[in-house]
Amino acid sequence: MRKMIGWIGAIAFAICGLPQAVKSIQDGHSNGLAWGFLGLWLIGELFTIYYVWEDKRKLAPLIFNYCLNIVFLGVIIFYKVFPRM
């Protein structure tokens, strides 16, 4: 049960970046997002996944969360750097 709750939380937390990634794709830009926010988000995801990588089995929900967030963040940063206006 505890593992299932961890996975539900990780999935919910991971997909919270999805609406912004979809909006960036639809709009063709990410102009409303500050570089400070994006940079801190990216640093947080990368450093945390580096930290938890050693114990992959116990921390699989967190690793899933961080990997998926890095994908969404990559989409958002792409449209921040290369707006399709």
Q: What confidence tens digit (pLDDT) does each residue in 17-32 have? A: 889 999 999 999 999 8
What's the total number of domains in the chain? 1
Q: What is the pLDDT of residue 16?
A: 83
Q: Give the distance between the most distant pair of CA atoms in the chain.
A: 48
State both tokens at 54.
């050693």
3-class secondary-structure state, position 8: helix
- The range of the structural domain enclosing residue 67 comes to 2-81
Q: What is the pLDDT of residue 55?
A: 67
Q: What is the pTM of this model?
A: 0.68
Tens digits of residue pLDDT in 35-72: 999 998 888 888 877 777 776 666 777 778 888 888 99
Q: What is the CATH number of the domain that holds 55?
A: 1.20.1280.290
First to last CA, the chain: 48
